Amino acid sequence: MSDWNYLDIWRLIAEVQPESPCISHGARTLSWRDFVREVDRWAQRFVADGVKPGDAVALYLYNCPEYLTAFGGALAAGAVPINVNYRYGVDEVTYLIHNADAAAIVAHGTFVDIIASVRERHEDLRNIYIVDDGLGPYPDWAHDSSQLDVAEHLPLPLPSGDNIFMIYTGGTTGMPKGVMWRCDDMFAISNQGGWTKRYDENGTLAGIEEQLRERGPGYRFIPACPLMHGTGLIGALRSLQEGGHTVLLESRHYDPLEFARVIEEQKINCTAIVGDPFARPLLDVAENEGYHFNDLRLVISAGAMFSAAQKERLIAITPDVTIADAFSSSEALGMGTAVTTARSKPETATFRIGANVRVITDDGRDVIPGSGDVGKVMLGGRLPLGYYKDEAKTAATFPTLDGVRYSCPGDMATVGLDGTLTLLGRGSQCINTGGEKVFPEEVEEVLKRHPFVLDAVVVAAPHERFGQQVVASVELTAGASFDEQELRDWVKTQLAHYKAPRHIRVVPSIGRAPNGKMDYARHIREAVEWVPTS
């Protein structure tokens, strides 16, 4: 079988282990039988309400079981589930709903006022389902998500590996873009080692059933990041495809104390985080409260830098853990991985190169290992179909080279003699100061190694002589004093002097998004105001 779809796999798991827990959210738990039943109820309701194959179903939700059951229900109806950033306001949600041609939206009640405004602007948004969070009563046009049953069981499309879901990604600039993934391709990519089961890509459902019966339920998994972020969603899909138990945090904002408590109480085996922004506060709590996470076996990180110092702290707390630091994006999964255990030395931004990866210079050459040349990282193999309704950006991000189609989101790297990638950052954020190129993430990592710096962001600001200059905003650790020259000198001890920020300011918070991503565009706008140009 080479046409994997999630629905056949989930239904098989529900037959083999119907009473095993599938999703938990606080005191609420869905068994595998419950999960598949809810997926079918969503699908039946979507079809009954006129959602057609190919229509988009938007998920405007905090983490909750309905995120995954409605996601599955959309696939079962032949529709295309899409993520909506729950921090978006009216204009942003309207743009995304219009861009995706969404025919339905599933949302928490807290967003009903925003949806009312979106509904006035987007007439094709025919079906609105509200997940009650105690803020009702709701308008007549909002369907209660707990009332999904239809009078007559309707035929559903046959599940297919060609079913599509979209991950809308905003990046650091520009409007959100819908990255179109086939279920079969995502299944194959996410079917990696480190979990309890690995399925033969060309195998059969009988082979999956054999593993389920031999090995039992999969890992107890917790995504610390939002399901509306690719790291959280893909981790949850991986947990579901191995028959695992996905535990969702109740807090709607990242709460490291809750995270630590649930890992301990639920005996969590695997978690997905977003680098230092999630790891550092978790480890602070663990060290202060005496948590050891004895059952934790696998920590997956993607989306932000995971520093060597924080990896060392994690291993000191739970020596049996394996850390899989993934170099990936919504457009390119599997560009590289840094695997760290108690027996290996942790690294920062250095990855074992993935299969089908090339690093290409601006003039089209493959970077020679050990040369020090910088190139764009390009990934072949299983890739997204492209961006929804954007042929120009699709052609730019998914070029064909030597007859092979690649994904090239813009990440820049060097290649060591041993073939490892050292990630420098996105070319779109590269700073040109007097002809010298500076990658912000490289400087940020050095700043964050300083004992007084909790977080940092580096951007370009205008300069009369050099065109651009390197500037930084830092968030200090509690009680730390600020010495701008000391921080500048600290960078110069580890990087070329021209990479040291000319100006550094202290901010109360760097202000990362819930998914751990940096809003570079905002910091660039602010730099124009606070940085002198000479």
Average pLDDT over residues 465-469: 82
What are the boundaries of each domain within the chain? Answer: 354-426, 430-530
Task: Name the more confident of 400 and 303.
Answer: 400
Beta bridge mates, 461: 469
Q: Which residues, 6+ apart, have CB-to-CB distance to 144 below 8 Å? A: 129, 130, 132, 138
Alpha helices in 336-405 (DSSP H): 391-397
pLDDT of residue 2: 60
pLDDT tens digits along 411-438: 888 999 999 998 887 777 888 887 777 8
pLDDT (tens digit per residue) in 492-528: 988 878 899 999 999 999 988 776 778 887 888 898 8
CATH topology of domain 354-426: Luciferase; domain 3 (2.30.38)
Share of the chain above pLDDT 90, in %: 70
Between 112 and 425, the higher pLDDT residue: 112
Residue 172 pLDDT level (bands cut at 50, 70, 90): very low
Average pLDDT for 365-387? 94
Q: What is the pLDDT of residue 173?
A: 44
Mean pLDDT of 57-78: 98
**Alpha carbon distance 82, 165 (integer Å):** 6
| Fold agreement between 354-426 and 430-530 | no
Whether omega for the bond prior to residue 137 falls within 30 degrees of 0, making it cis, is: yes
Mean pLDDT for the stretch of residues 246-272? 96
Q: What is the mean pLDDT of residues 338-344?
A: 93
Which CATH architecture does the domain made up of 430-530 adopt? 2-Layer Sandwich (3.30)
Residue 163, exposed/middle/buried by CB under 10 A (0-12, 13-18, 19+)? buried
pTM of the complete model: 0.86
pLDDT higher than 50, residue 12: yes
pLDDT of residue 132: 95
Tell me the pLDDT band of 174, cut-offs 50, 70 and 90.
Answer: low
List pLDDT tens digits, range 298-338: 999 988 788 888 999 999 999 999 999 998 889 999 888 99
The pLDDT, as a whole number, for residue 285 is: 97
Of 52-61, 129-138, 479-488, which has the strongest mean pLDDT?
52-61
